């Protein structure tokens, strides 16, 4: 693909705005080394040429067929990492998504969605801005997908992640929906390993804290015609994460009736930026009504509830020892946290039902006392209790005061497995470091 992927000059020098905006601390200086000579796929140094020859074995087509040979990553250490003092300051109160670690992982793909292509130039390098052609397809037609997964520090210092094969499979389902290439599962898992090995010092060890990985894939081909891009980039960045909602206090949620995040046959099951863009205006509406989160419903299924902008929902029927969650209809994102909670609930003998659940059922269930807990779940927040449901013309009161007993205990068990204090009886954990 001669020249069509040409970008501007390699990034060099100090981009102060990068440091200021990405780290929130104007004097941070975490991201100051932007001399990343291998950013350009065609700057074939000896090393990258060698890498290309190896990576040539990593051939995939859009159906994910591949050879078994794992891709090899080159390494370029950030020459200007965060100082120990700055990192300590950040790790003392990491928040969520505010700070980024010293390195990132990148892999290029060239090919054709239909006939296949090749992942190459896998590298660990200094975290910093990407240089993309203004005509890059991602800016125009939104071919973009992402994942969210955490690394957990165990008591012996080792670092583990939770069910990464699930995220790898979901990334590939999302990729298929958006006509992006398949990334081999072992490359996905290796990319997490590579990043956290480079940035191990950034893995927090406090309660509820983790290293949040944000893998993402973007269409980078400079071409305004409408077809799947022939140049794609996969990147992983890392961010230390505190407790997403602090100590889980119930959050009131807003019922979006004006806006939907997904529709029949749409991209609701894909983890793509577009779904989040579609949900933002609803989120603002929620905030105007005193709610931090928004829930969407499906008007074509008797107002059955779907999910929040970035989290699944479930309901506990305490007296019946039952957990109900909306079934996967094609408009709901299949959360790894959701499916893990369903398993843990089954293990305890709780009846699990995946089926449509309507607003009326919610309202009546809270009124009768049958529904005793309502919760949201996702990697970032794990399990968070839901308080009131607010809508334009009605409210459903909170099902429980504070964090309900069953959901709280499920959260403790799940976090225990993730952080190594509860036996991993399902083999969900993968060691990274």
Ligand X SMILES: *Cc1c(COP(=O)(O)O)cnc(C)c1O
The stretch among 174-182, 290-298, 307-315, 350-358 that binds ligand X (CB under 6 A) is 307-315
Beta-strand runs (E) in 283-424: 293-298, 304-308, 312-317, 322-325, 351-354, 371-378, 382-390, 395-396
Closest separation between CB of residue 430 and ligand X, Å?
15
Q: Is 244 helix (H, G, I), strand (E, B) or coil?
A: strand
Q: In degrees, to the nearest 5, what angle opens at C-alpha 118 toward C-alphas 113 and 120? A: 135
> Is 144 among the residues that bind ligand X (CB under 6 A)?
no
Among 118, 144, 190, 307, binds ligand X (CB under 6 A): 307
- Least Cβ distance, residue 335 to ligand X (angstroms): 3
Establish if 151 lies at the interface with ligand X (CB under 6 A). Answer: no
| Residue 311 in contact with ligand X, rule: CB under 6 A | yes
Q: What share of the chain is helix, strand, coil (3-state, %, to 5)?
A: 25, 25, 45
Long-range contacts of 408-412 (CB under 8 A, 24+ apart): 408/248, 408/383, 410/341, 410/344, 410/345, 410/383, 411/248, 411/382, 411/383
Find the shortest distance in angstroms from Cβ 380 to ligand X: 7
Q: Among 213, 220, 149, 147, which Cα is nearest to 180's?
A: 220
Contacts of ligand X in 360-419 (CB under 6 A): 378-379
- Sole binder of ligand X in the list 71, 336, 386, 432 (CB under 6 A): 336
Regarding 310 and contact with ligand X (CB under 6 A), the answer is: yes
The nearer residue to ligand X, 117 or 148, going by C-beta atoms, is 148
In 3D, which of 94, 218, 69 has the Cα closest to residue 150? 94
Phi-psi region of 116 (alpha: psi -120 to 50; beta: other; left: phi over 0): left
Stretch that binds ligand X, among 114-122, 151-159, 209-217, 329-337 (CB under 6 A): 329-337
Identity of the residue, 111 or 335, whose beta carbon is nearer to ligand X in the bound complex: 335
Among 333, 374, 383, 406, the residue binding ligand X under the rule CB under 6 A is 333
Q: Least distance to ligand X from the beta carbon of 337, Å?
A: 3
Query: What residues have CB less than 8 Å from 29, skipping those under 6 apart?
Result: 19, 80, 82, 83, 86
| 78 touching ligand X, by CB under 6 A | no
Helices 164-177 + 185-198 axis angle, to 10 = 120
Nearest Cα neighbor of 385 from 293, 298, 306 is 293
Q: Which of the stretches 11-19, 182-190, 197-205, 310-318 binds ligand X when contact is defined by CB under 6 A?
A: 310-318
Binding to ligand X by CB under 6 A, coded x per residue (else -) over 244-283, reads ---------------------------x------------
Nearer to ligand X, 73 or 296 (CB): 296
Site residues for ligand X per CB under 6 A: 148, 271, 307, 310-312, 333, 335-338, 378-379
């Amino acid at each position: 693909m001669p020249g069509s992927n040409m970008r501007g000059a390699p990034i060099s020098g100090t981009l102060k705005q990068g440091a200021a905006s990405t780290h929130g601390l104007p004097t941070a200086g975490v991201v100051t080394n932007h001399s990343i000579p291998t950013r350009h796929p065609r700057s074939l140094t000896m090393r990258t040429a060698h890498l290309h020859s190896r990576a040539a074995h990593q051939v995939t087509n859009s159906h994910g067929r591949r050879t078994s040979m794992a891709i090899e990553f080159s390494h370029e250490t950030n020459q200007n990492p965060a100082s120990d003092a700055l990192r300590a300051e950040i790790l003392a109160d990491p928040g969520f998504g505010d700070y980024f670690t010293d390195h990132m992982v990148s892999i290029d793909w060239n090919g054709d969605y239909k006939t296949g292509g090749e992942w190459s130039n896998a590298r660990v390098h200094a975290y910093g801005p990407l240089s993309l052609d203004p005509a890059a397809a991602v800016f125009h037609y939104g071919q973009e997908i992402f994942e969210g997964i955490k690394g957990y520090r165990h008591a012996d210092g080792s670092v583990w992640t939770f069910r990464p094969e699930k995220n790898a499979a979901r990334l590939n389902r999302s990729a298929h929906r958006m006509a992006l290439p398949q990334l081999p599962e072992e490359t996905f898992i290796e990319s997490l390993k590579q990043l956290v090995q480079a940035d191990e010092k950034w893995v927090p060890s406090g309660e509820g804290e983790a290293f949040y990985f944000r893998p993402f894939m973007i269409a980078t081909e400079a071409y305004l015609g409408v077809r799947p891009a022939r140049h794609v980039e996969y990147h992983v960045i890392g961010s230390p994460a505190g407790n997403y909602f602090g100590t889980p206090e119930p959050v009131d949620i807003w019922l979006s009736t004006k806006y939907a995040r997904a529709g029949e046959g749409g991209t609701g099951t894909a983890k793509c930026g577009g779904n989040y863009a579609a949900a933002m205006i609803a989120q603002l509406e929620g905030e105007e009504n005193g709610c931090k989160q928004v829930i969407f419903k499906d008007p074509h299924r008797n107002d059955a509830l779907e999910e929040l902008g970035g989290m699944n929902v479930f309901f506990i029927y305490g007296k019946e020892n039952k957990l109900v969650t909306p079934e996967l209809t094609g408009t709901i994102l299949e959360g790894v946290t959701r499916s893990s909670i369903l398993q843990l609930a089954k293990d305890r003998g709780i009846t699990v039902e995946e089926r449509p659940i309507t607003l009326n059922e919610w309202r009546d269930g809270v009124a009768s006392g049958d529904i005793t807990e309502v919760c949201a779940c996702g990697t970032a927040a794990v399990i968070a209790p839901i308080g009131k449901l607010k809508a334009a013309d009605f409210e459903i009161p909170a099902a429980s005061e504070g964090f309900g007993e069953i959901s709280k205990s499920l959260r403790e068990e799940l976090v225990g497995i993730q952080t190594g204090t509860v036996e991993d009886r399902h083999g969900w954990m993968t060691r990274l470091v």
